[in-house]
Amino acid sequence: MFYFVAVAFNLADLVEHSVDLVPERTALVCGERSITYAQLEERANRLAHHLAAQGVGERQHVAVYAYNCMEFVETMLAAFKLRAVPINVNFRYVEDELVYLYDNADVVATVVQPEFVPRIEAVREKLPLLQHVLVMGDDYEDALAAQSPARDFAPRDDGDLYILYTGGTTGMPKGVMWRHEDVFRTLGGGIDFVTGEVVTDEWKLARDASANPPSYSLVLAPLMHGAAQWTTFGGLFKGLTLVLLPKFDAHDVWAAVERYRIGAIAITGDAMAVPLIDALRDTSYDVSSLFSLSSTAAVFSPVVKEQLFELLPGVFISEAVGSSESGFNGMRLLEKGAVASGGGLINVTMGPDTIILDDDDRPVQPGEVGRMARGGNVPLGYYKDPVKTAATFVEIDGRRYSIPGDYARLELDGTMTLLGRGSQCINSGGEKIYPEEVESALKAHPKVYDVLVVGVDDERWGQRVAAVVQPRAGEAPTLDELVEFCRTKVAGYKVPRELHLVDEIPRQPSGKPDYPRARAIAMEVAL
């Protein structure tokens, strides 16, 4: 069998290995539709031939503008097969933001859901590089039907590009450029997140899949974000069946767990966990298949974890730290009754290539705070932005590191506590206050459903702490009671000085906080 010969770790190749070894296994489920690995292969091949016929070639960029759907995955895979590059589009963008993204990414073709076509048409004349728009639905299916299903593409290698545009929470979105092998090592299972084992044979994951019964994995976050993309592609490399939810709905999540006997789900902190808890309390679901729940990229407060353990006592909870620029930085497994350090913030065991650096680019000592950094397999840089590339991807003592701006504390036990982005850090009278720590404290209050903490201008202190709070139904916490409560959780200088009650906390579709919108709310009159 030819598949024992190891060559490059290319993302298209890795999916094709699963196709070759488990062709009749279900690859994707969305709503009542499902397709096998063989059908995914055929459809992606046809789409790749269609894009090639429109002039899309190696290193050219194809944007995907859609909610979660099978066509999103097919388009990414088709681009990889051509050695082209898929580009993720935030479906919340308005016209000016779309123009920026499509222009910055040099998009030559886009695959788009029908509801977003008016936005594309409204800005089409401002995008001279955009030569082809393919609309999902009849046009998409006709395009596939007209092309060959053959896998007859040119050889690929591990240096092909994957680009992930950031969410733009600290400025305009930036395209993070990864070599295929590097992103496979950091996010796609090329290095086991728990054991640290390095995959040395590109066929290993597919062979393991063929030797074991199929299992299901649920994709909750939008595919326009990296976490969902790597839940999906990491799963395809391993021959899993991926269940796509078009939009996050807590009841749909538990219904899918019950229907497909799903064993593991990944969420984005409290923003997803809280409605999942409410839904599980509201309706009875059979979730006995669930054994693991993981969270990444957002605050996962102790009170929320305790509630999850009460509802799901046999489930392990894992917290992971990572970013678009660094990939995986560390994780920690918890079970009911376990107590982690970190004061309510995300606390993890660092990955083998993760360190915390001081202002002189030297490793910090236990108890000290510094910038989280990751060596090893790191991105090439930001697309078309050499200045930001030089600032984020730094060579220290002959080794290249990704330093995206997250601050962390090295604990006495050797673990790492994530404090948050330095750009969101509040400086009040010379004291540094990380919003996530105050948010975690506030979420333990019984009247608080969700919260973001931001800094607003203050003549005396430079900045003061403002809390933007979504109260629980029928509740209305006052500033005084939140201050009194917070003083039992954090130091006095960290407690909020003003309060803004809102109907809904501003968040991205992935559940990550939208701090610019929260700060705009806090600049209004305080309560």
Measured CA to CA, the distance from residue 174 to residue 218 in angstroms comes to 27
Q: What is the pLDDT of residues 178-204, one digit of tens each?
A: 999 999 999 999 988 878 889 999 999
SS3 content of the chain, % helix, strand, coil (to 5): 35, 25, 40
Which pLDDT value is given to residue 238?
97
Contacts of 280 (CB under 8 A, 6+ apart): 250, 254, 287, 311
Task: Look at residue 8 and tell me whether its pLDDT is greater than 80.
Answer: no
What is the topology classification, in CATH, of domain 425-522?
GMP Synthetase; Chain A, domain 3 (3.30.300)
Q: What is the pLDDT of residues 127-179, one digit of tens each?
A: 999 999 999 999 999 999 999 999 999 999 999 999 999 875 556 789 999 99
Q: What is the pLDDT of residues 212-270, one digit of tens each?
A: 999 999 998 899 999 899 999 999 999 999 999 999 999 999 999 999 999 989 888 88
Concatenate the DSSP letters of all residues of 473-484 into one string.
Answer: TT----HHHHHH
Measured CA to CA, the distance from residue 134 to residue 112 in angstroms comes to 6
To the question of domain 16-219 being in CATH 3.40.50.12780, the answer is yes
Domain with CATH 2.30.38.10 in the chain: 340-421
Which pLDDT value is given to residue 342?
55
Q: What is the pLDDT of residues 467-510, one digit of tens each?
A: 999 999 999 999 999 999 999 888 898 999 999 999 999 988 77
For residues 197 and 210, the answer to whether their CB atoms sit within 8 Å is no
In this structure, the number of other CB atoms found within 10 A of the CB of residue 247 comes to: 11
Identity of the residue numbered 191 = I
Q: Is 214 helix (H, G, I), strand (E, B) or coil?
A: coil
Lowest mean pLDDT among 33-37, 92-96, 424-428: 424-428
Measured CA to CA, the distance from residue 338 to residue 299 in angstroms comes to 18
Task: Look at residue 3 and tell me whether its pLDDT is greater than 50.
Answer: no
Cross-strand pairs, 407: 371, 420
CATH superfamily for 340-421 is Luciferase; Domain 3 (2.30.38.10)
In 82-159, which ranges are continuous DSSP H helix?
95-104, 117-123, 138-145
User: What DSSP character marks residue 154?
Assistant: P
Domain with CATH 3.30.300.30 in the chain: 425-522
Query: 113-126 burial string, b = 16+ CB within 10 Å, else e?
Result: beebeebbeebeee
Q: What is the pLDDT of residues 314-335, one digit of tens each?
A: 898 888 888 889 888 888 888 7
Whole-Å CA distances, 221 to 33, 190, 269, 498:
19, 22, 11, 32
Mean pLDDT, residues 56-78 taken together:
97
For residues 317 and 294, the answer to whether their CB atoms sit within 8 Å is yes
